[in-house]
Amino acid sequence: MRPPDSGWTWFEPPPVQGDGDGGLVLARQFARLFGGGDGEAVLDHLKALTLTRCLGPDAGDAALRHLEGQRHLVLHILAQVARGRDGWPE
């Protein structure tokens, strides 16, 4: 029997197919991809576009949601990179 949906399950990352280590293999791939100088430059650019950017008071609902989605994706990438570097389990 499935537990009831609390309404917050959309925060959970999707399961990784074919990775018996709970996504650690994928996290290590993220770490390798973004580990060099070029990768760090790309991460800095993504952070500047999303995490350090704020919208003005006249921003509409769609713009706010779009930026929040971008932030979520960048934070997911950063978390995968950190996990791949440190090797911490899920």
Residue range 53-79, pLDDT digits in tens:
999 999 999 999 999 999 999 999 999
Query: DSSP labels for 29-56?
Result: HHHHHTSSHHHHHHHHHHHHHHTT----
Question: Phi, psi (5° rounding) for residue 80?
Answer: -65, -40
pLDDT value of position 1? 52
Residue 89: the pLDDT is 55
In this predicted structure, what is the pLDDT of residue 17?
52
pLDDT score for 60 = 96
Give the H or E element holding residue 73. Answer: helix 61-86
Read off the pLDDT of residues 6-50 as tens digits, 9 standing for 90 and up: 666 666 665 555 456 678 999 999 999 999 999 999 999 999 999
Query: CA 50 → CA 3, 4, 67, 76, 89, distances in Å?
Result: 35, 33, 7, 12, 27
Map out the domains of the chain as residue ranges. 38-90
Residue 67: enclosing H or E segment and its boundaries?
helix 61-86
